[in-house]
Structure 1
Amino acid sequence: MTRTTVHEAPVPVRAPRAAPHPSGTATRPPLRYRIITATLLTLAAIYFLTPVYWLIVSATKNSADLFGTFGFWFAHPRPLEYLRDVLTYDHGVYVRWFANSLLYAGVGALAATLLSAAAGYGLAKFPFPGRGAVFNLVLAGVLIPVTALALPLYFLFSSMGLANTYWAVLLPSVVSPFGVYLCRIYAAAAVPDSLLEAARIDGAGEARIFAGLGLRLMTPALVTVFLFQFVHIWNNYFLPLVMLSDSDLYPIQLGLTSWTGYADRQPELYQYTVGGAFLSVLPLMVLMTVLQRYWRTGLTEGSVKA
């Protein structure tokens, strides 16, 4: 008896399909989008960095070269000599203005950040009657322009005997409605109620919970409030103009403006004003460079699963 062998046809084996990207999209955008993005970012960088470049170049010139040479290139640069003249002019009054600005901006921004953190945390985590009305009042404070409050503040501080003092600039700088708003929104999203309840069960008080947990979790928001308030106070011109009459109390912005008022009779003050403006932007650059890592930490926090 003959056995018949049946040969089965081979089954084709398919290659395994590549796993899709976790986000469901391609890893890299199309080339045309990358070109458009890079072009727009380059134009924005040129737009914002051109005044800084002009300021750096102009700080290396004297008053004659400042008006008699091309503005975007160097001419007989002696930056150290000219900057030394700025710092030593009129018995070093610029150094005093610089110290005043550091006092106003540093102390004011730090106090405003802590006050905004406490107020925002309280509005987000402690229910009480009228909480919505208080938050709406804070929002209304954000919409009020600062210049509209300068004159009433002057009359108030004058009646208290605080006009033409450091307190006249420091105390208004402590209040930041935008900081309260930002801290309230961030605390509601970044500080979980379950974590607070666990801390309360462990016996921690509210002050300890706020200092040990709330402030740490709100760090990106606090850094943002501090930086915004520091820049606002540092560049503030109208409030010191209204409040102060003693030039020894002037911040940098008001002091440089007073120099430009006498520049027609003393042409070297044009160069001193430009050099002083260049020195005045250095603290802001350093502050932005040092604090930006906290923003990156805050943006990536919670993005990776445990």
Structure 2
Amino acid sequence: MVLFALYALAPLAWLLINASKTQQSMFDSFGLWFSGKFALLDNLHQVLTYDGGIYVRWLANTILYVVVGAGGATVLATLAGYGLAKYDFPGKRAVFATVLGAIAIPGTALAVPTFLMFSQLHLTNTIWAVIVPSLVSPFGLYLVWVYALDAVPTEILEAARIDGSGELRTFLTIGLRLLTPGVVTVALFAVVATWNNYFLPLIMLNDPNLFPLTIGLQQWNLRATGVNATPIYNLVIAGSLLAIVPVVAIFLSLQRYWQSGLAAGSVKA
């Protein structure tokens, strides 16, 4: 556990330490120790104001992609997973096989066909080129499906139906509450995947005003490697540090929903 913790925290420590250094001291000192002037606040100010404040636009784009894309993926996965777990209908086995097959296909293998399809629809270089593919989460659907099989006892749903509750009301008042830990898990997976999405925006977008943080920071990094370019590695590192803060905040705020046994004792053996 100690070795695993060091492996996981060492890059974060390196990022935090070097984000507090100036451009010069970053190359003149050991990467895992503070040196020179403490320039964290100055670096963050430059990140937010550099190139007309484009970083703020990238951050807003990323939040938009996460809220609409990851949020929509969570909603669709929850509805579909619950329905597949608690209802029987013709073709259910075929749907199960399709979902498993979709999970097995890596996203990079579908990137080029997705680009060609969106190009035919004239949706490339728009926000929909990033949002629409993000709405599909086969793994999230499968996760909700498996979780709902045990987390939502059928006896509780039948009791609600006997009391006159409709299917939608039963789902919203009973099923959704029992599914909360699974839904939160799917949401976190979707948020992280969308926030860190790189390859799809890379091939879909060419307008800097539509870039997410992943593409924007990479553009800054490439801009610093030109023949006559001025290195801005301190801004890239400080921007990367600022980019992970919302994800950490989301994890810390949602972890309280990871509870088990919400329905314990609700069904008599």
Structure-1 separation of matches of 2:67 and 2:229: 33
Residue 93 of structure 1 is matched in structure 2 by 54
**Is 2:151–2:263's contact at 8 Å kept on the other side of the alignment?**
no
Question: Is structure 2 residue 218 aligned with structure 1 residue 257?
Answer: yes
In terms of fraction of residues, the more helix-rich structure is 2
Segments of 5+ residues of structure 2 without an aligned counterpart are: none
In 2, Cα distance between the equivalents of 1:89 and 1:115?
38
What's the counterpart of residue 72 of structure 1? 32
Partner of 1:282: 245
For the residues of structure 2 that align with 1:262 and 1:212, how far apart are their CA atoms?
A: 52
Instruction: Please list every run of 5 or more consecutive structure 1 residues that lacks an aligned counterpart in the other structure.
Output: 1-40
Runs of 4+ in 1 over 3 A off after TM superposition: 265-268, 300-306
Equivalent residue runs for 1:127-206 within 5 Å: 127-206=88-167
Kindly indicate whether the alpha-carbon contact (under 8 Å) linking 1:62 and 1:268 is maintained by their aligned counterparts in 2. no
User: 1:70 aligns to what SS in structure 2?
Assistant: coil
- Indicate the structure whose relative CO is greater, using CA pairs within 8 Å and at least 6 residues apart: 2
Q: Secondary structure at the match of 1:61?
A: coil
SS state at 2:51 partner: coil
Which of 267, 291, 294 is the equivalent residue of 2:257? 294
Larger mean CA deviation between 102-111 and 230-239 belongs to 102-111
1:60 maps to a residue whose letter is S
1:159 is matched by which residue type in structure 2? Q
Q: How far apart, in 1, do the equivalents of 2:177 and 2:97 lie?
A: 26
Indicate if the aligned counterparts of 1:109 and 1:174 stay in contact, CA closer than 8 A.
yes
CA RMSD of aligned residues (A): 1.5
**Structure 1 residue aligned with 2:23:** 63
* Percent identity for Structure 1 against Structure 2: 49
Aligned residues of 1:63 and 1:267 also touching (Cα < 8 A): no
1:139 Cα deviation after fit: 0.7
SS at match of 2:232: helix
1:243 aligns with 2:172: no
User: 2:254 corresponds to which letter in structure 1?
Assistant: L
Cα distance in 2, alignment partners of residues 61 and 146 from structure 1: 37
Instruction: Please tell me whether the aligned partners of residues 165 and 249 of structure 1 are also in contact (alpha carbons under 8 angstroms).
Output: yes
Q: Does 2:72 match 1:114?
A: no
Structure 2 letter corresponding to 1:77: F
Q: Secondary structure at the match of 1:90?
A: helix
Q: TM-score, normalised by structure 1?
A: 0.83
- Tell which deviates more after alignment, 108-117 or 262-271: 262-271
Q: In structure 1, the residue corresponding to 2:52 is in which secondary structure?
A: coil
- Where does residue 52 of structure 1 map in the other structure? 12
How far is the alpha carbon of 1:180 from its aligned partner?
A: 0.6
Q: What is the CA distance between 1:268 and its match in structure 2? A: 3.7
TM-score by length of structure 2 reads 0.94
8 Å CA contact 1:219, 1:294 repeated in 2? yes
What SS is found at the alignment partner of 1:162? coil
- Whether 2:176 is the aligned partner of 1:209: answer no
TM-aligned CA deviation for residue 302 of structure 1: 5.3
Distance 2:204 2:223 in 1: 21
